[in-house]
Amino acid sequence: MRSYGQYCSVAKALDVVGDRWTLLIVRELLSRGPSRYTDLRSGLPGIATNLLADRLRELEAAGLVEREDAPPPIATTLFRLTDRGAELAPVIDALGRWGVPLMRDYRTEDAFRGQWLRLPVRMFLADHEPDRPASSIQVHAGDQTVVIDADAGRVSLRLGADPNADATVTGPPPLILALFSGGLALADAEEQGLRVDGSREVIRRVLPRAGSAAGERLSAPVEENAP
C-alpha cells in the first residue's frame, strides 16, 4: 500500500482508503451487510477478481474488514465491515450527496445495481403518512429489483422482489431516480415512460413534497450520447 508520507489525518486516511475501488467495496458492504466474494464482484462491475482480492486483503490488514464463516446452507466465507470500517458510512453518504448533480449525465452503458438505491432512499424519501398501515413498492430499475417499505414513519429498502407489494414501478434507473428525488412528479414520470402498477397513493406516500428539505434533486436525465 502506497503512502502519501504526510503527517495529516486526511492524507493518512487516504493512505488506507484512497486506492481505486476501495470505497466502493465499503459502499457494497454498507449496502448489503456481510457478503460473499461473488456478491461483491456482482456489485462492482468492472473490477478484476485479483484486484478485488488485493483490496479485501488490504482492508483486512487495516482493520476495516473481517471474515466470518456463514452457517449452512450458505457455508461459505462472508466479508463484513468491522466497527472501524462502519465508521466510513458518513463518508460514503457525503460523497453520494456531493455527487448528486453529476447524476444528470447518464450514459446507457453505465452499470446499475439495485442496492445503489439505498442512499437515494435515505436522502429523499420519507413516510409522510406514518399512521397508515405498512406499505411496499417494488421497483424494477433496468434488470434490478428492490422493494421500498414504509412503516410507522420509517422508509427502508430491501433487495429482491415482492409479488405482494402494493405498487410496482418499472423504468430506467435515471427516470426512477428523478422520481424519487422529487425532480419529476409521478404523472410526469409516467408521461416519460415510467410504468406504474398498483396503488399510486402508496408511491406518493413516500415521495418528496414541496418545501421538504430533501437537498439536491435530480431533474430528468440527459444522456451524454443523445443527439
DSSP string for 65-115: EEEEEPPTTT-SEEEEE-HHHHTTHHHHHHHHHHTGGGGGEE-TT----GG
d(CA 89, CA 156): 16
- Helix H or strand E segment including 204: helix 200-206
In tens, the pLDDT along 23-35 reads: 999 999 999 999 9
Query: For residue 193, is it left (φ>0), alpha (ψ between -120 and 50) or beta?
Result: left
Residue type, 111: A
Task: Note the pLDDT of residue 104.
Answer: 85
Task: Note the pLDDT of residue 221.
Answer: 56
What letter would DSSP give residue 186? H
pTM of the model: 0.87
Angle, to 10 degrees, between the axis of helix 9-17 and the axis of helix 22-32? 80
Per-block average pLDDT, block size 10, for the chain (227 residues)?
A: 91 96 97 94 96 97 94 85 98 94 88 93 96 98 93 96 97 94 94 97 94 56 50
d(CA 167, CA 158): 15
Cα 115 to chain centroid, rounded: 4
CB-based burial of residue 211 (10 Å sphere; 0-12 exposed, 13-18 middle, 19+ buried)?
A: exposed
Task: For residue 16, give Cα distances in angstroms to 27, 98, 165.
Answer: 15, 21, 42
User: What residues contact residue 113 under an 8 Å CB cut-off, 6+ apart?
Assistant: 42, 43, 45, 144
Task: Note the pLDDT of residue 227.
Answer: 41
